[in-house]
Homo-oligomer: A and B are copies of this chain.
Amino acid sequence: MSPRPAPDLNQRRDRVVKLARTLAESEGWGAVTMRRLAGDLGVTQPVLYSAFASRQALVDAVALDGFDDLAAALEAVDSSPRARMRAYLDHAAAHPRVYEAMFSLPSGLTFAAEATPAPLRRAFSGIREAFPGADDTRAEVAWSVLHGLATLHAGGRLREGQMQARLDLAHRLLTEQAVG
């Protein structure tokens, strides 16, 4: 009368997420199919559904992990505006597909005030802390600049090799005292 032991779902979820992320970074999200993942893991498709209710849930999990990684990357440098801004852009450029899952792909993650998952809040805090005196509005604008730069750069919309100059200017705009 004893059931077959349940597999370690956390470990399975972890493996699936890691593989999905790796696959996405190397071959794009289009290559991340349930069949491909299952095959590479040596199981069948249905097993994946014990870990994630849908492909969307899996993509969301990768995105959520991505927010945690981004937060860690921000916290790993000192909290000066320049260091945090550069860390943000470097991280986004280093993991473009994960960043895509976080911001561009259809997402089931919630961002409304209450339901916002901790990793997201943590990542936002990492930006916010870089601008000590800033209110919500200023933090949101700072984040918008960074996100805009990261996205447009990843999409090939900006001139090559000018990121440093753009970063310098953005930094100056966000930190300088204004007159008049």
Chain A residues in the interface with B (C-beta under 8 A) = 30, 103-107, 110-113, 136-138, 140-141, 143-149, 151-152, 155-159, 162, 165-166, 169-170, 172-174, 176-180
Contact = CB atoms under 8 A, between A and B. Distances in A.
A60 B117 CA distance: 34
A81 to B, nearest CB: 13
Q: Which of A110, A111, A169 has the most CB of B within 10 A?
A: A169
Contacts of A172: 178
Contact of A148 (B137, B151, B177): B151
Given A140-B158, A144-B148, A148-B149, 8 more contacts: A103-B104, A110-B156, A137-B162, A140-B162, A144-B158, A148-B151, A176-B180, A178-B179
A103 B144 CA distance: 15
Nearest to A136: B159
24 contacts: A103-B155, A104-B105, A111-B155, A136-B162, A137-B165, A137-B169, A138-B169, A140-B158, A140-B166, A141-B145, A141-B170, A141-B173, A143-B148, A144-B144, A144-B166, A144-B170, A145-B145, A145-B148, A146-B148, A147-B151, A148-B148, A148-B151, A173-B174, A176-B179
Nearest to A134: B169
A110 B166 CA distance: 22
A63 to B, nearest CB: 11
A108 to B, nearest CB: 12
B156 A149 contact: no
Contacts of A143: 148, 152
Q: Which of A141, A151, A158, A180 has the most CB of B within 10 A?
A: A141
Nearest to A29: B106
Closest 9 CB pairs of A and B: A148-B148, A144-B148, A176-B178, A147-B148, A104-B104, A173-B173, A179-B179, A144-B149, A111-B156
